[in-house]
Copies of this chain bind each other. A is one copy, B any other.
Amino acid sequence: MSRPDEGFHVFDTTLRDGAQREGITLTVADKLTIARHLDDFGVGYIEGGWPGANPRDTEFFSRAASELKLRHAQLVAFGATRRAGAKAEEDPQVAALLASGAPVVTLVAKSHDRHVELALRTTLEENLAMVRDTVAYLREQGRRVFVDCEHFFDGYKADPEYAKAVVRAAHEAGAEVVVLCDTNGGMLPAQVQAVVGVVLGDTGARLGIHAQDDTGCAVANTLAAVDGGATHVQCTANGYGERVGNANLFPVVAALELKYGRRVLPDGCLAEMTRISHAIAEVVNLAPSTHQPYVGVSAFAHKAGLHASAIKVDPDLYQHITPELVGNSMRMLVSDMAGRASVELKGKELGYDLSADRDLLGRVVARVKERENEGYTYEAADASFELLLREEVNGRPERYFTVESWRAIVEDRPDGTHANEATVKLWAKGERIVATAEGNGPVNALDKALRVALERIYPQLARMELVDYKVRILEGRHGTESVTRVLAETTDGQGEWSTVGVGTNVIAASWQALDDAYTYGLVRAGVRPAK
């Protein structure tokens, strides 16, 4: 596989700075899933969090060591320079960085004189010593070190000599990259390019850029820094981040690859961009932005009409790139959510070659479009998509059981306790089975009732476990009928798979996702369907 330019770093901080976005709260499992997506996308560095700052980030690094098998990325731990007046080797926060086991550490350092005085409450000289000592100590311990100069651009305006002194201190102590941060996000591209150029010339340090989007220019500011000589870009998936957000990883990488002609991702990764953007949105439980550059469902949507014939003759006259390069596709119809290219790509990924049979591909695309119109999404529900695909390939659905009816009851009792009870009536292998179970919630009770009903006939179900589910209400403002979408994640101890259910209420949608989850689990286990 062809490798990208090693002299250029694509550094992702979704798991650390991106998680600052209002409304995002990530579990450790979420973080591991996102890290896998980012690695699939081919970023060089994944900043996982601040070990020691909170138990969740500490746990992430410890689980990452055993559970994450990264193909492209290096894991990065984020932390601060040592405390004022203390030794780096005695600082527990610095020790936590080493204990994380991450091969790379990003240290945040103050580079704005007023912030040193007001937030750190120490002297300018001591701040430089803090940078030098901490970088040198971590280098001695065998870590690669990047230094984030927080509030760099504002600091540079206030006192350029001091701001540059911090860059020099980090560089001379052995930091591999010094990252200039527009922490308050107030910069514009021309200024960023000029400052990066001067700092590069004056310090000789390898420079990176970290831009916040408060002027709406974070992508442009990141590219302007590259124009100025930066060779390390810090971004977040979908631009998640504090306030307005961070520089969006996807348009930055797309511009570097497609507009600059610069190889920054491994071969084949750019075409995964749309899928990965949407999958990460599902994990953080935010609707993917329909109007996001390159990856939004509207990004290559054209109103047919005046130019339709010209578009047919030469589509490149009406699009700035070929959408398939980023895994997206041109759309001529408003309601059509799925393109042949992405379905073909997804099929290929699952081991089904759909390119040979254009009819089959057409049927699958039509089914996906129809279902997505109803509220389904297959971006983050590969197992449900594979079941749909198998149904079209085999000409019949996988069916291990046939449900007659089910019922769930949730009761809040006067003593404050809850009762959750579910009953399932179904047929499997010619037998009618009725089963009832209690659970800690209605979905859990349904899940248990379904297993009670089926485990004797399909003992493979005993290994399977529902590990996560996410609920989103679609539409439904001001009295219109809302639709509920559930994404469920199931494991058999060997791997995990995701399924989707849609319905007018959360229980009905969950039931569908459960049905798919166990059906897929049985397919996966190699069990033959039987009525």
The residues of A with any CB-CB pair to B shorter than 8 Å are: 20-23, 25, 27, 29, 54, 112, 114-115, 118-119, 151, 154, 184-186, 188-190, 193, 213-217, 219-221, 223-224, 227, 242-245, 248, 251, 254-255, 259, 285, 290-294, 296, 298-304, 306-307, 310, 313-314, 317-321, 333-334, 336-337, 377, 379-380, 403-414, 418, 420, 440-444, 465, 467-479, 481-482, 484, 503-508, 511
Contacts and interface: CB of A to CB of B under 8 A. Distances in A.
Contact of A213 (B293, B403, B511): B293
B412 A405 contact: yes
Nearest to A293: B216
Contacts of A217: 217, 219-220, 223, 251, 255
A244 B216 CA distance: 14
A54 B473 CA distance: 20
Nearest to A415: B405
A23 B379 contact: yes
Contact of A244 (B285, B298, B321): B298
Contacts of A465: 478-479
A411 B319 CA distance: 49
Contacts of A479: 465
Given A317-B114, A477-B29, A477-B467, A20 B304 contact: yes
Contact of A505 (B214, B221, B285, B410): B410
Contact of A508 (B188, B379, B410): B410
A329 to B, nearest CB: 13
A273 to B, nearest CB: 13
A245 B303 CA distance: 12
Given A188-B220, A409-B409, A441 B484 contact: yes
Contacts of A505: 410, 418, 420, 440-444
Contact of A468 (B255, B294, B477): B477
A473 B474 contact: no
Given A407-B409, A408-B411, 18 more contacts: A25-B474, A54-B336, A118-B314, A189-B190, A216-B220, A216-B293, A217-B217, A242-B303, A242-B304, A244-B293, A408-B409, A408-B410, A408-B442, A410-B442, A441-B508, A442-B442, A468-B476, A471-B506
A504 B440 contact: yes
